[in-house]
Structure 1
Amino acid sequence: MDLVDKLYDEHEQVKVQFVGFATKDTRYDFGIVYTNLFFGKPLVICMQTGRSALLDPRDVENHEYLQNIFRIDTASQTADLADFFSDLIPPAPLHPEYDY
């Protein structure tokens, strides 16, 4: 068997936060992994669906992106989710060479 080139193998102690909340329309349960990897973006995992994304404040402001990633049904639900994430997602360090 041919070996593959290992891209990274990092170990770090991370902060993990589990949050759940309900709006008038639905309930949400998320795990948020705050790490120095991935350009400082926390890994946000929906505990109900298993969908995950690396998010920074710009991503949170992009409602279409949030709606697509987490498969949210309505614009109103997406706005509720964005509002909730805006308090939890810290600004990521700037990496202009990877700016999109």
Structure 2
Amino acid sequence: MFEKLYDETENVNVQFVGFTTEDVRYDFGIVFTNMFFGKPLVVCMQTGRSTLLGSEELEDTDHLKSVFRIHSYEEAKELALFLKETLPYATLDAQYE
């Protein structure tokens, strides 16, 4: 027995971005949706690992290290900086305050 919580269909925008650091290449699919309080779903194309990322999650380097299995604090900082420049958080977070 189960209780369905939601079943939504939505046309979404998806952005594919890739970048490299000195040691690592990253390829992400970013799904922009109205679900999940407007937080985009960020999917690592190499590992399939994904997470919802709002501005508060980007400030938590340990969270990024854990979700994307990054071993270096510096790599996690570089990823956070890249995503801050890529994702339009000013408009997303403001509408849900």
Q: What is the TM-score normalised by the length of structure 1?
A: 0.87
1:18 to 16, 19, 37: 16
Q: For 1:1-100, what aligned pairs fall within 5 Å after superposition?
A: 2=1, 4-91=2-89, 92=93, 93-94=95-96
In our comparison, the structure showing a higher alpha carbon Rg is 1
Aligned CA-pair RMSD? 1.2
| Local SS of the residue matching 1:72 | coil
| Local SS of the residue matching 2:86 | coil
**Amino acid of the structure 2 residue aligned with 1:25:** D
Retained in 2: the 8 A contact 1:57–1:89? no
Q: More helix per residue: 1 or 2?
A: 2
Give the structure 2 partner of residue 98 of structure 1.
Answer: none
Provide the rounded CA distance (Å) in 2 between the counterparts of 1:71 and 1:32: 18
Q: Give, in angstroms, the shift of residue 24 of structure 1.
A: 0.7
Retained in 2: the 8 A contact 1:18–1:29? yes
Provide the rounded CA distance (Å) in 1 between the counterparts of 2:88 and 2:60: 15
Q: What is the TM-score normalised by the length of structure 2?
A: 0.89
Retained in 2: the 8 A contact 1:56–1:89? no
- Kindly, what percent of the aligned residue pairs are identical? 53
Structure 2 unmatched runs, 5+: none
Provide the rounded CA distance (Å) in 1 between the counterparts of 2:42 and 2:65: 14
| Local SS of the residue matching 2:8 | coil
The alignment covers a number of residue pairs equal to 93
